[in-house]
Amino acid sequence: MPNKTRNLASAACGTPAERPANESHLAIEGLLTAGPLDHLEETFPRDRLRDLPPPARETYLLQEIEGLSYLFNSADVGFGDREPLMALQPILDARIVGALQLKRHAIDRRVVGAVEQLRGMGSRGESWEHHWLKRVAQQWLRSRGDNARREAPMFGGRVDVYAERSDTIIEIGSTPYSRALMALTSSARGPFFITPFSRWAGETLNTDPRAAVTAFEFVMSPRNRVRLRRQLAITCSASVRGIGGAG
């Protein structure tokens, strides 16, 4: 486990502990993805973890961080994390206090099969996996009654897929942590999803184009979105005060 991950876990969890050599992965039946994403439960199990000894709690938290980091940085194209791992802290905090849930959606195989002909075809310099999954996400939202479009201008850049009627955003593969924070704290913003790549999915995507694709929805109530926005403002204010007192 990289030191930056262990340091983040220690900051959130308290005392450092060694990771058990016999740790097991949580199996989620039917997922296309495997490995780190298997650790992400819909709701962070605070009550269940209270009865565990501190080393076991930290091990679980390390797995949570690993899963979240992979969810945002699943692209296998060599450019690494889009932002420093510490930028994940507000999202991790929201998970730990129960304000943010991650709901898995298995995109219907018929939707995936509808864009089968685009497998292996890249576009404008992007990988075929990214291009293909954008079309899958767009087709999925359209099947739910939304007139979704790709590469929609937003947040000073572009989001991969956007549906105006439901105000839904879907990002594909590697995504900055700040993109999720902007989506979750913007006023009247609708659902936000990430559809990750998988380092274990390449052969599956090539041999079975109708294999299920998983989208992770970031579920946060309007009240908790306001609280998150307020907490980010307090953090920024504290940083400014620290700069002012540095002299």
pLDDT in tens, 175-214: 999 999 999 998 667 899 999 886 544 444 445 555 568 8
In the predicted model, what is the mean pLDDT of residues 83-99? Answer: 91
Say yes or no to pLDDT of 40 above 50: yes
Quick one: pLDDT at residue 122? 61
In the predicted model, what is the mean pLDDT of residues 82-86? Answer: 81
Q: Residue 246 contacts by C-beta under 8 Å, 6 or more apart in sequence?
A: none
pTM: 0.77
SS3 content of the chain, % helix, strand, coil (to 5): 45, 15, 40
pLDDT in tens, 93-102: 999 999 999 9
For 193, how many CA atoms within 13 A lie in the half-sphere containing its CB? 29
Quick one: pLDDT at residue 216? 95
pLDDT in tens, 107-153: 888 888 888 766 656 666 777 788 888 999 999 999 999 999 999 99
Between residues 162 and 70, which one has the greater pLDDT?
162
Q: How far apart are the first and last CA of the chain?
A: 37
Quick one: pLDDT at residue 5? 46
Please report where in the chains the tokens 């959130």 appear, as a residue. 12
Q: Among the residues of the chain, which ranges form H helices?
A: 3-13, 46-50, 54-72, 89-96, 109-114, 128-143, 177-185, 202-207, 222-244
Distance CA 52, CA 73 (A): 30
Helical axes 54-72 vs 89-96, angle rounded to 10°: 130
Task: Delimit the domains of the chain by residue range.
Answer: 3-85, 102-231
Mean pLDDT of the chain: 76
Say yes or no to pLDDT of 166 above 80: yes
Between residues 161 and 196, which one has the greater pLDDT?
161
Quick one: pLDDT at residue 120? 58
Nearest to 82 by CA among 196, 177, 184, 194: 177
Quick one: pLDDT at residue 26? 29
Q: Which two tokens stand for residue 217?
A: 């929805």
